[in-house]
Amino acid sequence: MEDDAPVIYGLEFQARALTAQTAETDAIRFLVGTQSLKFDNQIHIIDFDDENNIINKNVLLHQAGEIWHIGASPADKAVLTTCYNKSDFCLFAASDSRVVSCAAVWRMPSDWDIGSHESPDDSAHNPQTLELLCHLDDGTHGNAACVLWEPMGDGKRVISLADNHALLWDLQESSTQATVSSSATLEGKGQLKFTSGKWSPHHNCSQLATANDTAIRGWDLRSMSQIYCIENAHGQLVRDLDFNPNRQYYLASCGDDCKVKFWDVRNVQEPVKTLEEHSHWVWSVRYNHSHDQLVLTASSDSRLILSNMVSISSEPFGHLVDDEELSEGEDNHQDDKSKEPLKDSVVSTYEEHEDSVYAAEWSSADPWLFASLSYDGRLVINRVPRALKYRILL
């Protein structure tokens, strides 16, 4: 098979939750959560064999409800979080039932491991059930939107965003107990409900960015106070955020105005750069973990786009520079044409999906490989084109 050819896997269920395995990153692994009203929902564990270009799948039951968000522990490959919907029949009459969004921490069964089944389809026919470790809601903070693990942490701290609350949890007793150590509440005008967030890997992991309505806010987790606000970051709802892994002040956002924007949070008056390549809502934006000029965006125009945003990366001149160098101004580079920033470009537009693409994730084990997920349950694994890969490396 051609080296850059995509590998496609069909879940046979609708799905919109995708994450990459981050703990013990020797294997290329993605986790997918399904959405089904008729059947028990599932977590599909997808291991990609890069040498043979094949997918090995295993399935675990998630009987709590439809999965809207999934996160993998950075410290334990068997532990994950989900945000899921369930019908609340306990407090209301059946005719007045409501759907509530919950969050929980789970563990894969202790006797379960990838490759332990007699055939790849064993776990699909006889799936085991995830073990509930603890809930991340006490019923007073509203509907959970997402759960964020502390980047590069020991798996002991998570943040949940629920309605207008940001809750910092400490996980104890092998994650079987969770206590809220601090919290922040969104106040003001407009739609006061968090839609997404990202825990910054910089500043000793002491900062959080959140999206609500058209605004983006930054928070200091030590005081749980707001440190910046981009009031009208997008013309419509902000869907997703991601921090540049190499430039501590740079943040990417995307939204229902079909745009992807890049911000320097030290000066939030205007975005540093704006992309307008999508024709419908943009649901996901992801920086490559190693090469921050590579940015993935996923949209309900059924397309995934890989962009080379080299001019605002940590290597704008083809070599590594830090924020201090870039802040010195353009004067130092006026006379040396060889130091002009390289040009940004769309590298590839991927059209293997036939439905809205809700999520895209880079592999934690291979910086040149990524996955995307569309609502019809199609997972597509792709690679950065070889020509660009070697241009970056050489």
278-306 confidence digits (pLDDT tens): 999 999 999 999 999 999 999 999 999 99
* Residue 186 structure tokens: 């969104």
- In tens, the pLDDT along 29-40 reads 999 999 988 888
Cβ neighbours of residue 111 closer than 8 Å, sequence gap 6 or more: none
The residue among 95, 102, 117 whose CA lies nearest residue 65 is: 102
Q: CA 27, CA 293: separation in Å to the nearest integer?
A: 24
pLDDT score of 15 more than 70 = yes
- 7-10 and 378-383 as β-strands: parallel, antiparallel, unpaired? antiparallel
From residue 231, how far is each of 53, 195, 216, 257, 375 by CA, in Å?
45, 15, 7, 15, 30
3-state DSSP call for residue 205?
helix
- pLDDT, position 313: 95
> Residue range 246-268: average pLDDT?
97
User: Does residue 319 or residue 34 have the better pLDDT?
Assistant: 34
Rounded mean pLDDT, 133-152: 89
8 A C-beta contact, residue 253 and residue 216: yes
Mean pLDDT of the chain: 89
* Sign of torsion over alpha carbons 85, 86, 90, 94: positive
Give residue 377's Cα distance to chain centre. Answer: 17
Sheet holding 345-350, edge to edge: 282-287, 294-299, 304-308, 345-350
In this structure, what token pair is assigned to residue 170?
């400490």
- Please list the residues that pair with 370 across neighbouring strands: 362, 382
Residue 100 CA: distances (Å) to CA of 83, 137, 144, 317: 10, 11, 8, 49
DSSP state of 127: -
| pLDDT tens-digit map of 178-209 | 999 999 999 877 668 999 999 999 999 999 99
Write out pLDDT tens, residues 30-85. Answer: 999 999 888 889 999 999 999 999 999 999 999 999 999 999 999 999 999 999 99
**Degrees to nearest 5, angle at CA 137 with 33 and 254:** 55
Q: Give percent of the chain with pLDDT exceeding 90.
A: 74
Task: Please compute the mean of the pLDDT values over residues 113-127 and round it to a whole number.
Answer: 58
For residue 119, pLDDT beyond 60: no
Pull the structure tokens for residue 263: 């911000």
